[in-house]
Structure 1
Amino acid sequence: MPLLDWRDARHFDASRNLPCVLCQRPTPMRSHDREPVHKVCAEDWCDHNPDSRRFHS
């Protein structure tokens, strides 16, 4: 699977860190659905759940 492209500034919340929905560590990153998630966590989750579109743009 190709890496997710989250270069769009909407994937970054400079105002606060929230717990990642997958690992629970703080992150300023947001998925396209505004879920707090590290890019690496989302990529790992997508690798293990190839039929899901959860973190895809």
Structure 2
Amino acid sequence: MPLLNWRDSKHWSDTPAPCVLCDKPTNLRSDRAKPVHKVCAEDWIDSHAAASAEPGNDRG
């Protein structure tokens, strides 16, 4: 599982908003300024990386 580095203050907002993945409130923001928990983002990346590695998912 990849671990995201969100130490930069750009990943924090003073205003809570619903996480785009679990709908629970969060002050965290993605690199694209979307409200998302770090754990939710890491789980999403992990599950989508596994899906793209399955046979038949060639992009070439």
Q: TM bucket by the smaller chain?
A: 0.7 to 0.9
- Which has the larger helix fraction? 2
- 1:22 aligns with 21
1:1-57 per-residue CA deviation (whole Å, 9 max, x = no partner) reads: 43000100000002x100000000000000000000000000000000115xxxxxx
TM-score, scaled relative to structure 2: 0.78
Partner Cα distance (1:7, 1:32) in 2: 12
Unaligned runs of 5+ in 1: 52-57
Aligned partners of 2:4 and 2:42 also within 8 Å = yes
TM-score, scaled relative to structure 1: 0.82
- Which has the larger strand fraction? 2
Give 3-state SS (helix, strand or coil) of 2:29's partner: coil
Identity %: 56
Aligned residues: 50
Give the ranges of 4+ consecutive aligned residues of structure 1 lying more than 2 Å apart after TM superposition. Answer: none
- 1:40 aligns with 39
